[in-house]
Amino acid sequence: MFATIAFSITLLGIFSIFEITKGNQKFSLLKYYILARLIIVTAGSGLDYLGFLGYEFHLYKEIFKVIALLLTVNLFFLVVQKRIPKQVVWVELGLILLFIIELVFGLESPIIKEGVLQNKPILFHQIFYGLYAFLGSASLFYNSYFLFLAKKSNINLYELKIRKWVGFYILSNIILFLISSSLYISLQKGKLGVYDNTMVTVFIHRFLFIFFILIRPKFLDDDKFARPFNQILTKNNGVSFQNFEFLFYANHYYLTQDASLEDLALKLNVSKNELSEFLKKKVEENFTDLLNKNRIEYLKELLKAKKYESFTIEALSEMSGFNNRRSMYNAFNKHVGVTPTEFIQSLK
């Protein structure tokens, strides 16, 4: 049965990789992390399948487990906080260093199989897995707090979609973490629960991640949230693409009513001319068109969500960053080709 499940997840992972890479789209840093995690899930399931058939590959579970944890932790921080704190990076580097040392002592993943604990870890291994569990659980609970309990004044439609999307996955991971912990505790007491094999939890975790990616908010696939890979590797002399992407897109600067080229340049700590040249060469749009296009896209999202049933067009226009109704109508007609009223009619 486990071989069939591993093979099925491998196929699902391959499909997900093709789904996320289809078309000639650009990739954001977030999507590179997602793709890397998908590759690990798919490769791990494929090697598990071969293992069930009798072809053993040593250490891949240990290596993949560490890589998967780091990718997942960074994904949580990128999606929820739009950055990876330096403290987290230092803890991850410590975990990697400890992992390399542990390999010298013959590190093997503790696995429960048919109610028996395989590869019982020695003290050094227990320290490593303690740090491993701490990093994973701490990132889950901290991001849960940041996502649902911390007060935020700039909540918008995109943020709400992100909250629902990530909230589902974080909650699922917390449940899996508690189930795994209870499994080890019950084994120590000699009383196992409804299952006696850790592969069940592994398979559920992999399936949930793939499902999580497949139901991601589609606006994350938009080119405006991404940049080419070569622009990640190269630095710009003036404007940093990473800083621009973080401020303008991730923090939704375009929804600010008093947004201006001068103000954005000031926040990016560059000159107005440098920012204008950057937009011309790297983004291939002038500031006004880029600003209005993103505002209109956000307004369209509001209209598709039927916010017009609770708010006036003027109110929705202000939510989208426009100062007045006329400028919104002109921009909407330019980028969509119809008026907001006609767009609403087309949705019915």
- % of the chain at pLDDT higher than 70: 84
State which residues form the domain around 296.
225-347
Mean pLDDT, residues 7-34 taken together: 83
213, 127: one domain: yes
Query: Would you state the pLDDT for residue 233?
Result: 45
The 3-state DSSP class for residue 106 equals: coil
216, 240: one domain: no
Strand partners, 111: 118
Mean pLDDT, residues 164-178 taken together: 81
Query: Would you state the pLDDT for residue 232?
Result: 46
| DSSP assignments along 229-273, one per residue | HHHHHS--SSS-HHHHIIIIIITTGGG-TT--HHHHHHHHTS-HH
Give the pLDDT band (50/70/90) at residue 32.
confident
Query: Would you state the pLDDT for residue 234?
Result: 46
Give the tens place of pLDDT for each residue, 309-337: 888 888 889 989 998 888 899 999 988 88
Q: How high is the mean pLDDT of the chain? A: 81
Give pTM, 2 decimals: 0.70
The CATH number given to whatever domain includes residue 59 is 1.20.1070
Single out the residue in 173, 206, 221 at which a domain terminates.
Answer: 221
Mean pLDDT, residues 182-201 taken together: 64
How many CB atoms are located within 10 Å of the residue 315 CB?
A: 13
| More confident site: 24 or 176 | 176
217, 229: one domain: no
62, 35: one domain: yes
256, 193: one domain: no
141, 184: one domain: yes
Compute the distance between CA of residue 155 and CA of residue 317 in angstroms, rounded to an integer.
16
Give the tens place of pLDDT for each residue, 223-242: 555 555 445 444 455 677 77
The CATH number given to whatever domain includes residue 337 is 1.10.10.60
181, 295: one domain: no
- Containing H/E element for 177? helix 157-188
Burial of 173 (0-12, 13-18, 19+ CB in 10 A): buried
Does the pLDDT of residue 90 top 80, yes or no?
Answer: yes
Give the tens place of pLDDT for each residue, 94-130: 999 998 988 887 777 766 666 666 667 777 788 888 8
211, 261: one domain: no
Specify the number of domains making up the chain. 2
- % of the chain at pLDDT higher than 90: 14
Asked if 42 and 14 touch (Cβ cutoff 8 Å), the reply is: yes
Residue 317 Cα distances to 260, 302, 309, angstroms: 17, 10, 14
Query: Would you state the pLDDT for residue 153?
Result: 56
Helix 123-148 × helix 86-104 angle, to 10°: 160
